[in-house]
Amino acid sequence: MALGASQRLHDGVAAVETMTRFALAVLALASGVYTYLGARSILDGSPTAVFFAAVIYSASVSVGIYAFWSYMARFYPHVTTRTGRAGMLMVMAAGAVMIMAMSSWLNAAALAGSAAVEQHLSETVEDYTADLDRAHQNALSVQGLLPDIQRAGERFAQLAGVERQTGSLTGTTGSGSVVQLLSQMSAQMKGLETNINASREQVADLFAQGQKRLETMRTLVSAPGSIEPRADQFSTEAVALTGIVTSLAQTSIVPSIRRAADDLSLGFIAPVPDGALPDLVNRQNQVMETVKASVTAQSKALSKAADEILSRPPVQERRFVPLSSAAAVLHYAQDFIPAWAGAISIDLLPGVLVFILATVHSAIRRQEEDMPFAERITAAELLQALEVQRAVSAMGPVTPDTPPEPLEPVRAEPEAAPEPDEANTNITALDLKSRRDRTHEDR
């Protein structure tokens, strides 16, 4: 049974030898094709130079992969010592790393390069969208100050009107110093309100331009066709959008509102009381001090609100960095694991065939070692042993002083084969065992 199993394994190894070579050639060729596609995407120069350079590189990769795995399939299964196996495994590991370095990443670039570049463009669009939204929010944040400014301006205007008509502040009707001061404060608040409203229109216009740029960029990401021209146009749109985001950051009038709020209190100039009577002058002075205190409080409130807006982190200028298909595949490797697995499998699948052959040869050796010696010897080896036995018998006793005469080879004739005596039988058995052991070591 063991002899039959061993023979069947021998026959199987011989049967798949051609298939193994064919599989190695096909896998090496496939890796070379994808290596050519990947190399062509990263080379620069004239089309002719790029074509020949990519062809030469891919051909070198195919030959190298085929030669490497052919050597491993030929030698590794027949190495039996631990030291030899460890050395061959180290060589196999080093070769696998080299193959992945020179081929697998280019194969992955050919398999998923366009998708990786599209993902890079898509993530860039999301980043620019976030930048545009932040710049827009920062520019519109000053609108939160508008209600307070409007209320303050309306209050000053109402007080001026009441003082002019009823004299409720000083007790004297007319347009005196108090009315002039209140009107002045109301006019300043109206000026701030006008500036804020004007900036709103400018911010809205810039934001609309940015939205159009983003829409064009999204269309380029999902549009059909080659990725290279789309990436070039995307880069142009990205530069334009960067300018819009910068303009939004520069059009913010929050610093201006902050300075105007300081000027309300620091630059407060009260008019000279114009009352005819000393009592009226005193009342005007008291009202103007009250107005000054109110203006100071309003100034502090506006300054605090402006400082909160200014404390927000500004939008950093973003620069779009285009990536080639190979660089994009490396940068987004974790998102394209199936493509990487396929690219590496094409190059390293022959290693599985090598280990299959090594396992089969190891099984053959174990089975033959367990068989009796009589079952391990072949007919050809038996005939050779009989020839050696007859040659030894024909030589006779040999003395040290008399060299043996050369003998003619004796042909084996099974019909009239004489029966060997006991001594010759022992010599034949030892010789057969020695020859069998040498044959086993050669295998």
200 against 434, higher pLDDT: 200
**Is pLDDT of 375 > 90?**
no
Q: What integer pLDDT is reported at residue 386 of this predicted model?
A: 77
- Closest Cα partner for 41 from 226, 224, 221? 226
Q: What is the chain's mean pLDDT, rounded?
A: 77
Chain center to CA of 434 = 61
CA distances from 233 to 30, 130, 222, 228, 379 (A): 33, 21, 13, 9, 79
Q: What integer pLDDT is reported at residue 371 of this predicted model?
A: 56
Provide the pLDDT confidence category of residue 302 given band limits of 50, 70 and 90: confident
**Is pLDDT of 353 > 50?**
yes
d(CA 417, CA 411): 10
Contact present, 78 and 55 (Cβ < 8 Å): no
Residue pointed to by tokens 């009239």: 416
Residue 340 sits at the vertex; the CA angle it makes with 334 and 344, to the nearest 5 degrees, is: 145
**Is pLDDT of 60 > 60?**
yes
For 228, the token pair is 């290279």
CA distances from 339 to 106, 112, 119, 270, 343 (A): 11, 6, 14, 77, 6
Provide the pLDDT confidence category of residue 413 given band limits of 50, 70 and 90: very low
Per cent of the chain over pLDDT 70 is: 74
d(CA 190, CA 152): 9
Amino acid identity, residue 438? Answer: R
d(CA 209, CA 221): 19
**Is pLDDT of 84 > 50?**
yes
d(CA 249, CA 236): 21
Q: Is 170 helix (H, G, I), strand (E, B) or coil?
A: coil
HSE-CB at 51 with a 13 A cutoff on CA atoms is: 3
For residue range 28-48, list pLDDT tens digits in order: 999 999 999 888 888 888 889
- Closest Cα partner for 220 from 210, 234, 208? 234
Mean pLDDT to the nearest integer, 149-163? 75
For residue range 284-297, list pLDDT tens digits in order: 667 667 777 777 77
214 against 177, higher pLDDT: 214
Mean pLDDT to the nearest integer, 110-120? 88
Q: What integer pLDDT is reported at residue 87 of this predicted model?
A: 92
Provide the pLDDT confidence category of residue 301 given band limits of 50, 70 and 90: confident
> DSSP assignment, residue 378?
-
Q: What integer pLDDT is reported at residue 355 of this predicted model?
A: 92
For 255, the token pair is 């610093």
Q: What integer pLDDT is reported at residue 86 of this predicted model?
A: 92
Provide the pLDDT confidence category of residue 416 given band limits of 50, 70 and 90: very low
Q: What integer pLDDT is reported at residue 420 of this predicted model?
A: 46
For 200, the token pair is 């709103």
**Is pLDDT of 415 > 70?**
no
d(CA 37, CA 60): 14
pTM above 0.75, yes or no: no
